[in-house]
Amino acid sequence: MIYVIATITIKPGSAASVFEVANPCIKATRKETGCISYDLMQSLDDENKLTFVERWESYDNLKNHFDQPHMLLWREKGAEFILDRNIEIITPESVKQL
């Protein structure tokens, strides 16, 4: 199993817009082959920090996710709100940072 923890810092006051833009991607991703779970959460301490928590059956499933139309659309539409991001891929063998 592969875990992805993707934390993004967004422009102040843009959380509602980010969730609106991200929701179609979240719904479509949950239907992808190999997706076990895919959630977006907002920090309780900082409303401008959001975290995607993902579980995938395999790294190949995760790689395929990156090229899906809904993911490409999220990247395009979400870019205007994102100030910073940190993505960790966690496997039983290691933790990789992108």
pLDDT tens digits for range 1-54: 999 999 999 999 999 999 999 999 999 999 999 999 999 999 999 999 999 999
Q: Looking at residue 40, which CATH number applies to its domain? A: 3.30.70.100
Domain region containing 78:
2-97
- Give residue for tokens 């809904």: 70
If one counts the domains in the chain, the total is: 1
Report the alpha-carbon distance of residue 4 to residue 55 in Å, rounded.
6
pLDDT tens digits for range 56-71: 999 999 999 999 999 9
Q: Which residues pair with 85 in a beta bridge?
A: 8
